[in-house]
Structure 1
Amino acid sequence: MDFDVERTGHDYCSVPEAAAVDMVLHENSELKSQVEDLRKQLAQSKIIHRFGLQRFAGSDDDIRFYTRFATYNHLMAFWKLIEPATHRMIRSNSKVFKEPGNTRALPAVDELFMFLVYLSLGLKQKDLGHRFQVHQTTVSRIITTWVNFLYFVLGSVCIWMPKEQVRAHLPEEFHKFRDTQVILDCTEIRCQTPSSLLLQSEVFSNYKSHCTFKALIGMAPHGAITFVSALYAGSISDRELFKQSGIIDLLTPDMAIMVDKGFLIDRLVPCKIHRPVFLTKGKQMSVDEVTHTQSVARLRVHVERLIRRVKEHKLFDTVIPMSISGSINQLFTVACLLVNYQCGPLVKAWSH
C-alpha cells in the first residue's frame, strides 16, 4: 500500500542563517577575551601575593628597606651587571645551574632578592622560607650560593684606586690633605661566644667587652670603599690587624693615609700619616696642633659614616651565630662591596 508522506518535520540539512553564525562567533570571541583577562588578573594576583622582587618594584621605599639599594632602577642596573655571570654560577652542592634537569625553585633575580633581604633585615632562614614559599634547606642553599658568587664576582673587580684617580675625585674639603690616598678605620661585629675557652680568649674584644670579629676598612676621600680586609679574631690590635691586612703592599711614598690616633703604625708604612695629635701628660696643644686635630677629625668622621652604611645591613646588628662562622667573612666582605653600588655619595656635594 502506498502512503503519501507529508514532509513537515525539521530539515537538518538546512544551513543556519548568517546572523546566527555571527552571533555565536561574537560570543566565542567575548568568552576568549574574558578568559584572557582572567588569566592576566590571576598572574597579577600571584605577583602581588608572592614575596618576590616584582611585588615591590613600584616602591623605592620598599626596595631600600629590603635591599639597601637606593631605588628599583639602581637594583636593576646592578642586576644587569652581574646577570651574564649567573649562567656560570655553581650551587652550594657543586651542581652547575645550567645542567639538564636542574631547575631553580625561584627565578634567579628573586634568589638575589632573597639574599639581599637576608643581609638587609637579618631574617632567619625559616622566616625566609615561609615568605618565599620554599623549603628552609633551599633558602640555605640559595644564600650560600649567592654569597660565594658575589664574593668572587665583586671581589674580582679591583676597588683599590690609582692615586691619579683619587686625586681627580678629591673633594674640596681635603685641600689641606691632598696626598690622602685612603682613610682607614677598624670595625667589629659581635659573634656568639664559642664553647672552647681557647677560642673565647681569641675572639674576645676588650674594647667591646664581647666576642667579636674585626676588620679594617679603607675609604677613598670621595667616599668609595677601596679596601676591605678579611675578618680577624676580636682580640687582635689595630696595629697588628693593619700589619696582617695586606694594605702595606699597596702604599707608596708619594701617598698619605688618614687614621685615628690609636693606629701606631709609623714604622710599618712607607708613606705619610695624617693623624690627630697625641696629647701627652702635662702638655698643652698648640694652636696649630688643635687646628690639625680638628681638621683630621672632621674628615675621618666620613669613614665612620661609611662603616655605618655597611652595618645598616641588619645581619650584623645581631650576634653572629657560630653556625654561619664559616661564611661570615664572605658575608661581611660582600656587604662592604655592595655599599659601592647601593648608595649615593656620603656628601651630596661630592656627587658633582
Structure 2
Amino acid sequence: IGIAPQGLITFISKGWGGRTSDKYLTENCGVLDNLLPGDSVLADRGFTISGSVGMYCARLEIPAFTRGRPQLAPSAVEATRKLANVRIHVERVIGLVRRKYTILKSTIPSELLVARDGTNTGLDKIVLVCAALTNLSAPIVPFG
C-alpha cells in the first residue's frame, strides 16, 4: 500500500500468495515504479530494499536502533521520533480500511481469488473499491 503524507491511499498492489517475501513483493508489485526523486519509503529494520528504492532516487527511511550501543545519538532519536509520527498515520489509514469495510474481515470465497478477466481477482477489485471509498471519506490525518 502507498500512502501520501496527507493520508490518501495512492497505491494498492494486487494480492499475492502468503509465502511471498515482503522484499520480493515490494520489488515486483509496481509500487516502486510510482516513486519520484526525493520520495521517502518507510520500512522496518532488516527490510533490505535500499538499492531498489535508490534506483528511483528516493530514500529508504528505517528507524534507528542501538545495535550494541547503550543509546541512540540525539539526532537519531529525533529522526526516529519523526518517523514514528508518520508511521502512526500509515497504520491509522490501514486500520481504518480494515475496520470500516467488514467484507475485508470476513472469510473470502475462493472464487474471488481467481482472475476471471485475466487481470484482477474479485478480491483485488473489492480492496481497490474500499481504498477509493476511504479516499472519499473524511481524512483521518490532520493537516498542518
Q: TM (normalized to structure 1)?
A: 0.35
Q: 1:262 and 1:304, CA in 2 relative to 1: closer, same or farther beyond 3 A?
A: farther
SS at match of 1:246: coil
Partner of residue 241, structure 1 = 25
Q: Hey, what does 1:253 align to over in structure 2?
A: 37
1:225 to 9, 13, 31: 9
The answer for the alignment partner of 1:298 in structure 2 is: 85
In the alignment, the residues of structure 1 paired with residue 46 and residue 95 of structure 2 have an alpha-carbon distance, to the nearest angstrom, of 20
Query: Please, which of 112, 136, 139 is the counterpart of residue 345 of structure 1?
Result: 139
Conservation of the 8 A alpha-carbon contact between 2:2 and 2:31: no
- In structure 2, the gaps of 5 or more residues are 115-121
| SS of equivalent residue, structure 1 residue 276 | coil
Name the counterpart of 1:319. 107
For the pair shown, the structure with the greater C-alpha radius of gyration is 1
User: Which residue identity lines up with residue 223 of structure 1 in the other structure?
Assistant: G
AA at the equivalent of 1:236: T
Report the Cα offset of residue 240 of structure 1: 1.0
Q: Counterparts of 2:60 and 2:79 in 1: how far apart (Å)?
A: 12
User: What is the CA-CA distance between 1:262 and the residue it aligns to?
Assistant: 4.7
Distance in 2 (CA, whole Å) between partners of 1:336 and 1:268 is 26
Give the C-alpha shift of residue 304 in structure 1.
0.9
Letter in 1 for 2:81: Q
The answer to which structure, 1 or 2, has the higher relative contact order (CA under 8 A, 6+ apart) is 2
Moved over 6 A (4+): none
1:148-297 aligned at under 5 Å gives the runs 217-269=1-53, 270=56, 271-280=58-67, 282-284=68-70, 285-297=72-84
Question: Offset at 1:340?
Answer: 0.8
Give the stretch that moved more between structures: 301-310 or 268-277.
268-277
Asked if 2 retains the 8 angstrom alpha-carbon contact of 1:238 and 1:262, the reply is no
Q: What is the rounded CA distance, in whole Å, between the counterparts of 1:276 and 1:268 in structure 2? A: 18
Over 3 Å counting, the alpha-carbon distance change for 1:230 and 1:279 in structure 2 is farther
Deviation at residue 241 of structure 1 after TM alignment: 0.9
In structure 2, the partner of 1:331 is 126
* Percent pairwise identity: 32
CA change 1:331–1:346 in 2 (3 A) is same
Residue 126 of structure 2 aligns to which amino acid in structure 1?
A: L
Hey, what's the Cα distance between the residues in 2 that align with 1:325 and 1:258? 29
CA deviation after TM superposition for structure 1 residue 345, in Å: 1.3
Distance 1:250 1:345 in 2: 22
Q: 1:310 to 1:262 in 2, by over 3 A?
A: farther
Deviations 1:144-191 (A, max 9, x none): xxxxxxxxxxxxxxxxxxxxxxxxxxxxxxxxxxxxxxxxxxxxxxxx
Deviation at 1:263, TM superposition (A): 3.0
Q: How far, CA to CA, are the matches of 1:308 and 1:256 in structure 2?
A: 21
State the alpha-carbon separation in 1 of the partners of residues 93 and 46 from structure 2: 19
Q: Which 5+ residue runs of structure 1 have no aligned equivalent?
A: 1-216
CA contact (8 A) 1:259 1:300 kept: no
One-letter amino acid of the structure 1 residue matched with residue 131 of structure 2: C
Q: Secondary structure at the match of 2:10?
A: strand
